[in-house]
Amino acid sequence: MKINGWIALAMTPVIWACSGDGSTPEGSPASEQAFVLAPAPPMGFNTWNRFACDVSEELVRGIADAMVESGMRDAGYEYLVIDDCWQVERGPDGVIVADPERFPSGIEALADYVHGRGLKFGLYTDAGSKTCQGRPGSLDYEEVDAATYAAWGVDYVKLDWCYADTLNAPVQYRKFREALDGTDRDIVLSICEWGRNLPWEWAPEVGQLWRTTGDIWDSWQSVLWILEANNRHHEVAGPGHWNDPDMLEVGNGGMTLEEYRSHFSLWAIMAAPLMAGNDLREMTPEIRDILTNADVIAVDQDPLGVQGKVVLDRGYGFQVWAKPLADGSVAVALLNLRDSEIEGYVSWHLLGLDPGEARVRDLWTGEESSHTDDGSWDARLRAPVPGHGVVMLRVTPVAG
Ligand code: GLA
């Protein structure tokens, strides 16, 4: 790899998948399957952040329609996942039963509807005896549930960790992965044990994504806390297996537009799964513009599959985040943690680039410019960064 600062990263064993050309990495069949299921971080929508237990087939159909009509599907959002509370009991045969009042047509018909809109369909369950909201969990029903989901047409399973205190996480999650592998469908496994059992050490072999933190909430403080925690595990992510800093809160009302832009930008720099969590049926144009920004999404989905990281952290509230990309560019976020505007800066050296000319695209304004950094202090690129905001750039060295 050409970019000096990232050579060490590329040599760690877990990054072997980052071939840069999107090809399947060499490795075990499990690695190949993981790669095929999630070569880039999964994108979609999940009901939890906005709707919690208020889920129904009417809601899910409405969201599926909105994903198509708003342009979210075409921007790359693929999975529509129903989180907790869709299930009420087990039948005499052990098969899980969906809430008959909220899902009168049944889950299979709903999955068909979602597929008919050109999307994929996901469900939530829990590795323990109950889900976090007290619904039946999958403990001891792993094979029955995997078979049921496959028969219904499920493409994605989020597996939570409530009522599981006495269990061994790697063992339980592997058990579910094997049950999914025993079906005739390719199913993404989203591991959700909040980073409690060091998932970065075992989850890449088991699931396509794993939560690294507790639950996000719709506030700037929560975003900052998650950024710090998720950044610690950047070496582990790569095509097929991703750190999951939790679903997006963009558009749920607790943050400013500036903060939502920062939240989305940093999730993209961290190659995070992008699961929208707002009401897509009634989002404002400003929120839609954040969630569907093609340049920012391209950073998240870049085939090199490196999780960007903090490359500069000034004590006064200014950070530089960077993510090398497959075409030799580097995505950069100048992040201002302070309440008021500051002048941000970045040098090519900090990005692992040689001195010289580069094209610079501002991914939020769309402005293109050229900047030459000859390595001197004065030649750093500078830009004003609003309070709690980012300036997000794609820096492409000009050959020669
Ligand atoms: C846990 C998970 C959340 C959500 C809820 C549902 O808290 O971390 O993402 O799935 O359970 O009860």
Q: What is the CATH number of the domain that holds 142?
A: 3.20.20.70
pLDDT in tens, 91-106: 999 999 999 999 999 9
Query: What distance in Å separates the CA atoms of residue 290 and residue 129, rounded to the nearest whole number?
Result: 38
Is residue 318 located within the same domain as residue 287? no
Say yes or no: 215 and 85 in one domain: yes
Domain holding 324: CATH number?
A: 2.60.40.1180
> Does residue 329 have a pLDDT over 70?
yes
Domain hosting residue 153, numbered range = 10-300
Q: What is the pLDDT of residues 98-143, one digit of tens each?
A: 999 999 999 999 999 999 999 999 999 999 999 999 999 999 999 9
pLDDT in tens, 246-282: 999 999 999 999 999 999 999 999 999 999 999 999 9
The pLDDT confidence band at residue 35, using thresholds 50, 70 and 90, is confident
Q: Which residues, including other chains, have CB under 8 Å from residue 376's CB and lie 6 or more apart? A: none
Can you give the pTM of this predicted structure?
A: 0.93
The total of structural domains in the chain comes to 2
Which residue among 47, 84, 244 is best mutated to probe the pocket of ligand 1, counting the most ligand atoms within 8 A of its Cβ? 84
3-state secondary structure of 262: helix
Straight-line distance from the first to the last Cα atom of the chain, in angstroms, rounded to the nearest whole number: 18
> Is residue 13 predicted with pLDDT exceeding 70?
no
The answer to whether residue 161 sits within a structural domain is yes
Q: What is the predicted pLDDT for the residue at 32?
A: 72
Please write down the HEC assignment for all residues of 352-382: CCCCEEEEEEECCCCCEEEEEECCCHHHCEE
Q: Are residues 275 and 250 in the same domain?
A: yes
Q: Positive or negative, the Cα torsion across 40, 41, 47, 51?
A: negative
- Among 300, 330, 351, identify where a domain stops: 300
Ligand 1: centre distance to CA 15 (Å): 29
Residue 93 lies in a domain: yes
Do 343 and 294 share a structural domain? Answer: no
Ligand 1 binding residues, C-beta < 6 A: 48, 83-84, 124, 131-133, 160, 192, 215
The model's confidence at residue 207, banded by pLDDT at 50, 70 and 90, is: very high
pLDDT greater than 70 at residue 16 = no
85 shares its domain with 148: yes
Assigned token pair, 201: 């050490």
Residue 206 has pLDDT above 80, yes or no: yes
The angle subtended at Cα 68 by Cα 246 and Cα 271, nearest 5°, is 30
Residues 272 and 356 in one domain: no
List the catalytic residues: 160, 215
The residue whose CA has the least distance to atom 12 of ligand 1 is 132
Q: Is 3 domain-assigned?
A: no
Is residue 2 one of the residues assigned to a domain?
no
Is residue 273 domain-shared with residue 333, that is, in the same domain? no
Angle value at C-alpha 137, between 131 and 139, nearest 5 degrees: 135
Among 244, 269, 300, identify where a domain stops: 300
What are the structure tokens assigned to 47, written together?
């009901």
Most distant CA atoms of the chain, gap in Å: 74
